[in-house]
């Protein structure tokens, strides 16, 4: 282990202890900025898989119906054969290349994944190459189709026992993602990829800026602004952005009591919260400029 390794380890150790493992992964770009990616959750990935299967098998079923309809309608021998070939090839390509064709595009996501805000990335941060995408999806053969085959096969006596053993054996592949940090399945391991959250976000208005004129005149004493820390500020931001009347009234009432508000009582809750948000953020940010980050209301420094 080199000196740099030791230094890096020492530098990252306290942060890791402070930030509990909730699926966030360090992802440092060549420019040296940590993008902090979130690993896709099990439920999201499962729903994405279900969506993809719905799309895939749904369109296959529709395609089969169309082929069968044409077959029943024409009965021409040469056409029937062409239809048979077409059907075989299309279902083969669908089953084996549906995932590949979508994930090998720059977006790195199938329709199901995109709907869940997921995408595939190379675990080392490099470009996601076609061979990696092929590897991760060819592995579905033992992760999805093999267990399904065991599930639907029937037998008696020794056969049943063998099928049972096979099901357990293939089940190990299925539950593999439950036992590693990055929730990678077998295919991800064989390809060096992982699935992360990469949702598209819109730039929202700055609460401290826009409605400032509306709440002008509502001022707080420094002591009143010292009641809360960053964590509460973020909760407050969420409450204002969601804009639920009841929640806002509740939060406003709580803040009024906590800071001992003695100003005019007829200010609307939204105006009050906005004014308090702007005031609190200004105070916490200026503290931050002096090197103090107040985590939450219990953080007295």
Partner 1 sequence: MAELMLKSARFRAEREGDWRKLDALLTRAEKVGAAGLKRDDLLEIPLLYRQALSSLSVARSISLDQSLTDYLESLCTRGYFFVYGQRSRWGERVARFFVRDWPAAVQALWRETAVSFLLTVASVVTAYILVRRDADWFYSFVDPELANGRDPMATTASLRDTLYSQPDVVQGLSGLSAFLFTHNAQIALFAFALGFALCLPTAALMVLNGGMMGAFIALFAMRGLAYESTGWLFVHGSTEVFAIILAGAAGFSIGWAVTFPGERSRVDAAAEAGRRAATVMAGVVVMLFVAGLLEGFARQLVTVDLARYAIGAALLTGWLGYFYWPRRRAP
Contact (Cβ atoms closer than 8 angstroms) between residue 287 and residue 269: no
Q: Write down the least CB distance from residue 233 to partner 1, Å.
A: 6
- The yes or no reply on residue 7 touching partner 1 (CB under 8 A) is no
Nearer to partner 1, 130 or 253 (CB): 130
- The yes or no reply on residue 281 touching partner 1 (CB under 8 A) is yes
Show contacts with partner 1 in window 66-125 (CB under 8 A).
77-78, 81-82, 84-85, 88-89, 91-92, 96, 104, 106-108, 119, 121, 123, 125
- The yes or no reply on residue 271 touching partner 1 (CB under 8 A) is no
What contacts 20, CB < 8 A, 6 or more positions away?
none
* CA-based radius of gyration for the chain: 28
Nearer to partner 1, 212 or 258 (CB): 212
Show contacts with partner 1 in window 126-165 (CB under 8 A).
126-132, 134-136, 138-143, 146
Show contacts with partner 1 in window 12-41 (CB under 8 A).
29-31, 33, 35-37
Nearer to partner 1, 45 or 283 (CB): 283
Contact (Cβ atoms closer than 8 angstroms) between residue 49 and residue 116: no
- The yes or no reply on residue 296 touching partner 1 (CB under 8 A) is no
Helix (H) or strand (E) holding 36: none
Q: Write down the least CB distance from residue 238 to partner 1, Å.
A: 8
Q: Please pick, from the candidates 49, 186, 218, 227, the single residue that binds partner 1 as defined by CB under 8 A.
A: 186
196 to 215: interface string for partner 1, x by CB under 8 A:
--xxxxxxx-xxxx--xx--
Cα pseudo-dihedral 279, 281, 287, 288, rounded to 10: -170
Q: Write down the least CB distance from residue 126 to partner 1, Å.
A: 7
- The yes or no reply on residue 189 touching partner 1 (CB under 8 A) is yes
Contact (Cβ atoms closer than 8 angstroms) between residue 190 and residue 226: no
Nearer to partner 1, 149 or 253 (CB): 149
Q: How many residues does the chain have?
A: 301
Show contacts with partner 1 in window 37-66 (CB under 8 A).
37
Show contacts with partner 1 in window 223-262 (CB under 8 A).
230, 233-234, 237-238, 241
Nearer to partner 1, 179 or 262 (CB): 179
Contact (Cβ atoms closer than 8 angstroms) between residue 219 and residue 240: no
Query: Tell me, what DSSP letter sits at residue 41?
Result: P
> With contacts defined by CB under 8 A, how many residues of the chain interact with partner 1?
77
Looking at the DSSP assignment, which residues form a beta bridge with residue 194?
121
> Most distant CA pair in the chain: distance in Å?
90
| Rounded Cα–Cα distance for residues 284 and 278 (Å) | 10
How far apart, in Å, are the Cα atoms of 212 and each of 20, 97, 272?
36, 54, 11
Q: Nearest Cα to 281, choosing from 223, 211, 221, 234?
A: 234
């Amino acid at each position: 282990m080199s000196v740099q390794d030791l230094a890096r380890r020492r530098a990252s150790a306290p942060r890791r202890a402070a930030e509990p493992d909730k699926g966030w992964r360090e992802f440092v770009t060549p420019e040296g900025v940590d993008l902090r990616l979130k690993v896709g959750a099990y439920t999201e990935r499962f729903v994405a898989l279900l969506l993809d299967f719905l799309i895939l098998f749904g369109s296959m079923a529709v395609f089969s119906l169309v082929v069968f309809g044409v077959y029943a309608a024409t009965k021409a021998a040469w056409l029937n054969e062409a239809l048979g070939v077409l059907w075989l090839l299309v279902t083969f390509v669908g089953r084996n290349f549906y995932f590949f064709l979508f994930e090998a595009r720059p977006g790195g996501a199938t329709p199901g994944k995109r709907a869940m805000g997921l995408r595939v990335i190379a675990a080392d941060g490099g470009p996601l190459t076609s061979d990696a995408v092929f590897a991760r999806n060819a592995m579905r053969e033992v992760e999805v189709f093999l267990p399904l085959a065991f599930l639907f096969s029937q037998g008696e006596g020794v056969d049943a026992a063998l099928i049972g053993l096979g099901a357990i054996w293939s089940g190990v592949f299925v539950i593999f993602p439950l036992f590693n940090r990055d929730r990678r399945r077998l295919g991800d391991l064989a390809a060096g990829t992982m699935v992360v959250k990469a949702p598209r976000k819109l730039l929202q208005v700055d609460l401290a800026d826009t409605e400032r004129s509306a709440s002008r005149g509502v001022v707080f004493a420094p002591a009143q602004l010292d009641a809360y820390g960053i964590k509460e500020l973020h909760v407050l931001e969420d409450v204002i952005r969601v804009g639920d009347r009841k929640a806002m009234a509740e939060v406003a009432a709580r803040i009024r009591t906590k800071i001992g508000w003695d100003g005019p009582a007829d200010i609307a809750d939204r105006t009050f919260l906005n004014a308090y948000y702007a005031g609190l953020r200004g105070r916490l940010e200026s503290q931050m400029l002096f090197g103090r980050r107040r985590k939450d209301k219990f953080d007295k420094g």
